[in-house]
């Protein structure tokens, strides 16, 4: 029997999906919810405990008290300021150990994973629990990318491969070969909104989202959902391309329906 799973829950719908999937697989689940990050609406009927992001000692103690053996980190987490973080002694110890090595998300998340493993917990990727949510190759709805869209997708992949090597961004918006914007700390939705004002043509342009080459695959996989489809459509772009097998698609059926209703494409690409 697999050990009890601790879900370290960020924002969005995926933490609840992990809990549901784990229970369906017969796994016992405990949720560690983070103040100001986790949506409390889905926690009813789920054993859970609330902590601040900076309460490492308390978080580890609660996971042990709950009998957790493995943990899954899932859902976006807004980076707090140091004042908001208010690290306890254990978090301060970890931050001192991480130091300046963790410039970007990959470095920081890899360091966090090492801290968790150093406390004796196994770390499992969300795709191990949510295998059905991994993006598949091909179109999700009735709309397929045009030849121009495919050229923009290829351009986006090349840009992200280059930037990913220095741990910058999982997403880019490209319109007729022109890069309108690259995702930084603001997140994908803010990237799309920012690029909407930069459109040069009345139609076209794609959001491309892939994993970075050195990404810690057990945490922070690129994710899209219906909200991403809505944001891209409202911005006037032609569609979304994600990396098959290395991106999570929350509720693929609803994503396909939303894309068809808005006449945009969602496409799973095999990036090389």
- List pLDDT tens digits, range 62-99: 999 999 999 999 888 777 666 667 887 787 777 777 65
Q: How far apart are the first and last CA of the chain?
A: 37
pLDDT above 50 (res 100): no
Do residues 235 and 197 lie in contact, with contact meaning Cβ atoms separated by under 8 Å? no
Q: Convert the pLDDT of each residue in 164-176 to its tens digit.
A: 777 777 899 999 9
d(CA 252, CA 111): 31
Question: What are the DSSP E strand ranges found in the chain?
Answer: 4-9, 29-34, 48-51, 68-74, 122-123, 138-139, 171-175, 178-182, 206-209, 223-224, 239-243, 248-249, 265-269
Do residues 176 and 201 lie in contact, with contact meaning Cβ atoms separated by under 8 Å? yes
User: Which of the 8 DSSP states describes residue 107?
Assistant: H
CATH 3.40.50.20 fits 4-129, yes or no: yes
pLDDT above 70 (res 18): yes
Confidence label for 246 from pLDDT (cuts 50, 70 and 90): confident
Rounded to two decimals, the pTM is 0.78
**232 Cβ contact partners less than 8 Å away, ≥ 6 residues apart:** 192, 207, 239, 240, 264
Do residues 8 and 72 lie in contact, with contact meaning Cβ atoms separated by under 8 Å? yes
Do residues 2 and 13 lie in contact, with contact meaning Cβ atoms separated by under 8 Å? no
Report the CATH superfamily, name and number, of domain 134-269: LpxI C-terminal catalytic domain (3.40.140.80)
**Of 213, 210, 212, 199, residue with least CA distance to 245:** 210
Instruction: Determine the pLDDT at residue 108.
Output: 65
Place of tokens 């969005």: 12
Record the tokens describing residue 3, joined without a space.
């050990």
d(CA 271, CA 231): 24
Q: Residues 175-194, buried b or exposed e (16+ Cβ, 10 A)?
A: beeeebbbbeeeebbebbee
Q: Convert the pLDDT of each residue in 134-146 to its tens digit.
A: 889 999 999 999 9
Domain extent listing, the chain: 4-129, 134-269
Nearest-5° Cα angle at 164, 221 to 139: 55
Instruction: Determine the pLDDT at residue 38.
Output: 92
Computed over every residue of the chain, the mean pLDDT equals: 87
Q: Are strands 206-209 and 223-224 parallel, antiparallel or unpaired?
A: unpaired
Confidence label for 272 from pLDDT (cuts 50, 70 and 90): low
Instruction: Determine the pLDDT at residue 94.
Output: 77
Instruction: Determine the pLDDT at residue 103.
Output: 46
Instruction: Determine the pLDDT at residue 163.
Output: 87
Rg, C-alpha atoms of the chain: 19
Helix, strand or coil for residue 86?
A: coil
4-129 matches 134-269 in fold = no
């Amino acid at each position: 029997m697999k050990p009890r799973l601790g879900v370290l829950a960020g924002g969005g719908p995926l933490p609840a999906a992990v809990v549901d999937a784990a229970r369906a697989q017969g796994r016992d689940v405990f949720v560690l919810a983070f103040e100001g990050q986790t949506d409390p609406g889905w926690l009813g009927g789920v054993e859970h405990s609330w902590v601040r992001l900076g309460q490492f000692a308390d978080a580890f103690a609660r996971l042990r008290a709950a009998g957790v053996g493995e943990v899954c980190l899932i859902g976006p987490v807004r980076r707090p300021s140091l004042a908001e973080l208010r690290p306890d002694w254990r978090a301060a110890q970890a931050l001192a150990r991480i130091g300046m090595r963790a410039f970007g998300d990959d470095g920081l998340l890899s360091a966090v994973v090492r801290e968790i493993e150093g406390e004796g917990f196994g770390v499992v990727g969300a795709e191990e629990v949510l295998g059905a949510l991994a993006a598949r190759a091909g179109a999700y709805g009735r709309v397929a990318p045009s030849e121009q869209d495919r050229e923009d997708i290829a351009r986006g992949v090349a840009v992200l491969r280059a930037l990913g090597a220095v741990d910058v961004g999982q997403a880019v918006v490209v319109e007729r070969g022109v890069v309108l914007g690259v995702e930084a700390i603001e997140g994908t939705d803010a990237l799309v909104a920012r690029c909407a004002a930069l459109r040069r043509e009345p139609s076209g342009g794609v959001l491309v989202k892939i994993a970075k080459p050195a990404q810690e695959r057990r945490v922070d996989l690129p994710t899209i959902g219906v909200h991403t489809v809505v944001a891209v459509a409202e911005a006037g772009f032609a569609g979304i391309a994600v990396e098959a097998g290395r991106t999570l698609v929350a509720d693929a059926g609803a994503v396909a329906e939303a894309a068809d209703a808005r006449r945009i494409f969602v496409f799973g690409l095999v990036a090389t």
